[in-house]
Each structure stands twice: as structure tokens, then as C-alpha cells.
Amino acid sequence: MTFLGMPATAPRGVGNLRGEEPFPAAAHKALANAQLRRNLSHATTTIRGKSGAVISELPDWQELRDAGSALKAATMARLPELLEQLEAKVTAAGGVVHWAADANEANRIVTGLVRATGHERVTKVKSMATQEIGLNEALQAAGIKAVETDLAELIVQLGHDKPSHILVPAIHRNRSEIRDIFLREMPGVDPALTDEPTELAAAARRYLRETFLSTKVAVSGANFAVAETGTLAVLESEGNGRMCLTLPDTLITVMGIEKLVPTWRDLEVFLQLLPRASTGERMNPYTSMWTGVTPGDGPQNFHLVLLDNGRTAVLADEAGRQALHCIRCSACLNVCPVYERTGGHAYGSVYPGPIGAVLSPQLTGVADNASLPYASSLCGACLDACPVKIDIPSLLVHLRNEVPHPRSERVAMAAAAYTMDHPALYTRAQHAAKLSKHAKRLPPPLNGWTASRDLPEPPAETFRDWWAKR
């Protein structure tokens, strides 16, 4: 495949994979937002409970995870041939396949396709890939209005905000904030709108229904694509996706190249794993599947844009490629003690939380997201929660070994390692380390410790001194 060439990382200046400041600085601001902390704690606790309950119903959950993991590993091992198979099948079924090496190319392709239809508005099914490449911004620059139809994504869009969660992009908002956004931004909204969830949903439904019925072009992502049949699948909970996927004349799907499964039967595993791990549902509410174009039924023009944008570079790293197994369920976000406190914006990328901390730096090259692999205490909760068993803690450690380190830290770590490898020096250092409990403030980089924690009382003697005297 010529589009692959040398694996390139996602280009700068386009899309939403890079933050404006390092994680610790962004986290500092987020942590001070009491409303955000309450919203996140409430939402993640609720989802954790719901998901945990339905997972515990399945006696073969661990076997399903093993199967999901093995299927993904096998898919990655022969991704190029599977992609070509998918292209052939989609083409044979009346679709048109486009290859996009990066965000710029994908945006150009989609913008061109929409322009060719002559329409100036598209409906959108919630899609991480199009958020990743900044498609809405690119369409807007071309005078095309993109309307997000997923309720939470709509809240984010109307609020001129950014998504902060893979599955629940408005998780950082509570219902009274949502009412305020609707009252301010939603055309034709009832000024007496309350913050009752059913009322909020009804307001969104009224607004969206009109949009669905009058828009001729839709843009979606994809949860899965089946190589052997050329079938695309979108899983959603609100029915908005089904509207977008069936009503318009033209459907454009932007899909990361890692979303493939080899055979139809493989969906059996993922359709069990995804809803329980992500929304805590036993079965996904709306599962839409389509294969190319069906005359007289649904969109008569179907375009599939296969997006690389750094994925081939991730695939080239034998240890790092596990991150491509992700099925975007967001279970790792919901169990992450860091995410629960900082929220998603602190990560700077559309992919927040533990999976974002290993995926974003690989897509952009680690230097552009150097703080993200450190945005974890390595507690391991993400690995236990992952339905396809991505070993995120090990990936974080792997990426930490790749990032450029500050010079002062390099010097200190080298000195520490040298001391530790020379027991005489080590013993001397132990005796010198008479830290005082009364030192309430240490100098940088240790001041982070004493900002909130006392130092331990120094012992009268080290263990090895005591042992030597026995």
C-alpha cells in the first residue's frame, strides 16, 4: 500500500491530539474546579457500578476478554491485507473507499465529498475519529455546518466546549449547566425549560428531528468494519445514529484503520464486550450495520475514508501497538483515579484517561505529548477494566522510557543509579539522608511532596546498621 510509506505521526496544526499545556499544569486548574470534581465523581461512580453489575452476570467474561484480545492481536498482525480485503468488499457493494494518510488529507477528502453534493449542512453521528482530525473545524472553514446529533456531543457543540470523555463527552457538565447551554444556544428552545433530564432530552429531540429530516448528508465514524463482508457497524444508545445512517442521500464514514475485524463472526465477541464495559448495558440499544449501498433503501452514496494519522507508526512499535486494540469503550476512564479527579480536558487530546495517555503520545510522537505517559500512578485499575486486556500500565512504562527527559532529572537519576550500584556509596548516602520531619518545604523538584505531605521521621539507624549489630 503506497499510502503507508514510512510510518508518519499525526501532523501538527490540525486536529485535537495535542494540548496547550502539559498535563500537570492543566490538571492543576481542573482540580480546583469543585463543580467539575463533583460531576465527575458522581458520573464515574454511577457508570462503574452499572458496568460492574452487568459484567458480574457473565460467567465467561474473562474468556470473552481473552478472545477479544486475541482477535485484535491477530487483526493487527495482518492489517494491510485485511484492509485491502475490506476495500474490495466495500467497493463491490457499491461504496467508494478513500485512503487518508493523515488528518489534513481526511479533512480534504470529506470536505470535497460534501461540497460535491452541493449541500452546506451535515448531520454527524458521534465519532472519535472525526474529533481527532478536527473535521468540524475543517468543514466550518469550508462554509459547511456540522450538526452533532449525539445528545452529549450536541451539548458540547452548543456550549462551544470540548469533549472530555470518549463515551460521555459532556460528563463534566451537570443538568443545570446543560439547561443553561440549551437556553442560550438551542434555536427555538422553550424558555421555560427546566433541568429535568426528560425535558432536556425532549428539547434536544425536537431540535434534532427537524435537522434529521432536512439534511441530505451525514458523517459518521465506525465501531467496527468486517473485512470479509465489507460491513460497517455503528453502536449507539440514542437512535440518532440510525437516523443519520439511514435518512440522508449521502453517507461519509471516517474510520481509523485499526477498527477492522476479520470476519462477521468476530463481532459476536465484541458486541458482548463493548456494551457491558462501556455503558453498562447487557446489549447495545442501536446497532446499525450496512454494507455498501442498497438500491432504494438508505443512503445511495456511501464513502468510506480510511484514516491512518499516526496509526501505522503505532503499529510499527511491537510493544506499543496494543494501544490500537482499543474499542473506545472508556471503561479505563471510568475506573481511573486520575481521570476521576482531573477530567478529560487536562489530557489535551480527544483521547483522555489511561488509553489516551498511551494512544495520544504514540499518534503524535512522544515528544509532543511527553507529559501524558506520566499522568498515571500505575495503579493498574485500567488493565483490570479493559475488555480487550490492553496492558496500559506496561505501555505507560514503555512510553516513559521513550520520552525525552529533562536534563536535571537525567543527571539526578544517573547519580541515584550509580549510588545504588555501589553499596559503600549507598550506605553513605543513607546516613546523609537525615531528612527532618520539621522540614516543611523541600526545594524543587521535591517541593511537590512537602506541599501536602510531611516527611517521615528519620530512623535512629538503618536496617542494615541494625542487622550488622545483631
* Concatenated DSSP letters of 42-89: HHHHHHHHHHHHHHTT-TTHHHHHHHHHHHHHHHHHTHHHHHHHHHHH
Interacting residue with another protein among 383, 388, 390, 392 (CB under 8 A): 383
Nearer to another protein, 229 or 430 (CB): 430
How many Å apart are CA 71 and CA 274, to the nearest integer? 14
Interacting residue with another protein among 78, 209, 265, 405 (CB under 8 A): 405
Interacting residue with another protein among 24, 49, 143, 197 (CB under 8 A): 24
Residues 320-349 that bind another protein (CB under 8 A): 337-338, 341-342
Residue 54 binds another protein (CB under 8 A)? no
Options 62-70, 136-144, 261-269, 449-457: segment touching another protein (CB under 8 A):
449-457
Q: Which one, of 343, 416, 329, 331, lies nearest residue 375 by Cα?
A: 343
Rounded alpha-carbon distances, angstroms, from residue 289 to 5, 155, 255, 347, 449: 32, 26, 14, 32, 52
**For residue 438, which amino acid is it?**
H
Q: Among all chains, which residue has been given the C-alpha cell 457491558? A: 276
Residue 454 binds another protein (CB under 8 A)? yes
Interacting residue with another protein among 323, 375, 390, 392 (CB under 8 A): 375
CA 219 to chain centre: 19
How many Å apart are CA 369 and CA 367, to the nearest integer? 6
Residue 212 binds another protein (CB under 8 A)? no
32: number of Cβ within 10 Å: 9
Rounded alpha-carbon distances, angstroms, from residue 392 to 46, 58, 71, 399: 23, 24, 18, 10
Interacting residue with another protein among 77, 116, 378, 439 (CB under 8 A): 378
Residue 205 binds another protein (CB under 8 A)? no
Residue 23 binds another protein (CB under 8 A)? yes
Q: Which one, of 204, 147, 136, lies nearest residue 350 by Cα?
A: 136
Residue 200 C-alpha cell reads as 432536556
Q: How far is the CB of 346 from another protein (least distance, A)?
A: 8
Options 95-103, 221-229, 302-310, 414-422: segment touching another protein (CB under 8 A):
414-422
Q: Which helix or strand (DSSP H or E) is residue 290 part of?
A: strand 286-291
Nearer to another protein, 1 or 379 (CB): 379
Task: Tell me if 284 sits within 8 A of 350, measured CB to CB.
Answer: no
How many Å apart are CA 412 and CA 406, to the nearest integer? 10
Q: How far is the CB of 427 from another protein (least distance, A)?
A: 9
Options 4-12, 20-28, 82-90, 167-175: segment touching another protein (CB under 8 A):
20-28
Nearer to another protein, 316 or 416 (CB): 416
Residue 53 binds another protein (CB under 8 A)? no
Number of H helices, E strands in the chain: 22, 10
Residue 77 binds another protein (CB under 8 A)? no
Residue 3 binds another protein (CB under 8 A)? no
Nearer to another protein, 189 or 335 (CB): 335
Nearer to another protein, 282 or 410 (CB): 410
Q: How far is the CB of 300 from another protein (least distance, A)?
A: 51
Residue 443 binds another protein (CB under 8 A)? no
Q: Which one, of 389, 450, 411, lies nearest residue 73 by Cα?
A: 389
Q: How far is the CB of 304 from another protein (least distance, A)?
A: 38
Residues near another protein (CB under 8 A) are 23-24, 27-28, 31, 37, 337-338, 341-342, 373-381, 383-384, 394, 397, 399-403, 405, 409-410, 413-414, 416-417, 420-421, 423, 426, 430, 433, 435, 437, 445-446, 448-449, 451-464, 466-467
